[in-house]
């Protein structure tokens, strides 16, 4: 029975571990992030190398066990005094691809660990007119809140923080809908390559450039 649920380490394939100690060792803390309007925002690990495998495993149809691992990590860094856990909804194409919304599963698991409820607070706006628009303009108005939040303190969880555009929109919508506070916790943060290239030669990083992975 144990064999049926045992999974190899997503980082290196070692079959004896869930996430093996050397892969855990290789993880680096997430760089600092800030999201306008959020009371606080932080990520667990830097989205690079092994961390990418751990994120991508959680996106696989068989990856729910990895989401539990992530939920443990997010619950540890979550504020104590929140009322509700919520998530940034996947796009229609993301849901179709994977059959369910990973953010919802993640938020539910984090909420259970915190002894709180999770609930949908945002939905995607299907704006076909945005098709073909540039990446920046397209990401602007694609989400709205689903209900009044009546001064609730919300914990918003997400997977990979890249430009922060989705988080910005989500926070704006949630505060406008009446939330008294929004704290953001993300699994992984893509390092700022522009800033990084100033610190060290770009050639050092070739081959490690993060892809645009996102669940949405
Ligand atoms: Zn490993």
| Mean per-residue pLDDT, 170-177 | 95
Token code pair at residue 163: 């430009």
**Between 198 and 126, where is the model more confident?**
126
| Mean per-residue pLDDT, 33-43 | 97
Contacts 24+ apart (CB under 8 A), 26-30: 26/50, 27/51, 27/54, 30/161, 30/186, 30/188, 30/189
CA of residue 112 to ligand 1 center, whole Å:
27
- Which residues have beta carbons under 5 A from ligand 1 (an ion)? 9, 11-12, 14, 20, 23
User: Which pTM value belongs to this model?
Assistant: 0.81
Q: What is the CATH architecture assignment of 28-193?
A: 3-Layer(aba) Sandwich (3.40)
Taking alpha carbons only, the member of 58, 72, 63, 54 closest to residue 9 is 54
pLDDT tops 50 at residue 204 = yes
Domain map (residue ranges) of the chain = 28-193
CA of residue 107 to ligand 1 center, whole Å:
26
Within 10 angstroms of residue 12's Cβ, the number of other Cβ atoms is 15
CA of residue 6 to ligand 1 center, whole Å:
14
CA of residue 196 to ligand 1 center, whole Å:
26
CA of residue 114 to ligand 1 center, whole Å:
28
| Mean per-residue pLDDT, 184-205 | 72
CA of residue 16 to ligand 1 center, whole Å:
9
pLDDT tens sequence across 52-79: 999 998 888 778 888 999 999 999 999 9
CA of residue 12 to ligand 1 center, whole Å:
4
Which residue's structure tokens are 């397209």?
138
CA of residue 53 to ligand 1 center, whole Å:
10
CA of residue 60 to ligand 1 center, whole Å:
17
pLDDT tops 70 at residue 24 = yes
Q: What is the mean pLDDT of the chain?
A: 83
């Amino acid at each position: 029975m144990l064999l049926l649920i045992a999974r190899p380490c997503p980082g290196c394939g070692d079959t004896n571990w869930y996430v093996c100690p050397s892969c855990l060792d290789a993880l680096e803390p997430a760089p600092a992030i800030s999201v306008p309007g959020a009371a606080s925002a932080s990520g667990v690990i830097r989205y690079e190398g092994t961390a990418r495998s751990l994120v991508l495993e959680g996106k696989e149809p068989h990856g729910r066990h990895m989401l539990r691992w992530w939920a443990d990590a997010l619950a540890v860094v979550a504020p104590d005094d929140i009322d509700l856990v919520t998530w940034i909804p996947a796009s229609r194409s993301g849901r179709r691809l994977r059959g369910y919304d990973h953010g919802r599963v993640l938020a539910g698991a984090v909420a259970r660990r915190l002894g709180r409820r999770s609930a949908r607070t945002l939905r995607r706006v299907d704006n076909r007119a945005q098709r073909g628009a540039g990446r920046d303009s397209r990401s602007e108005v694609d989400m709205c809140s689903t209900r009044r939040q009546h001064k609730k303190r919300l914990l918003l969880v997400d997977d990979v923080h890249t430009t922060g555009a989705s988080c910005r929109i989500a926070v704006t919508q949630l505060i406008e809908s009446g939330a008294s506070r929004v704290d953001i916790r993300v699994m992984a943060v893509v390092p700022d390559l522009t800033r990084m290239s100033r610190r060290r030669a770009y050639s050092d990083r070739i081959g490690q450039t993060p892809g645009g992975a996102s669940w949405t």
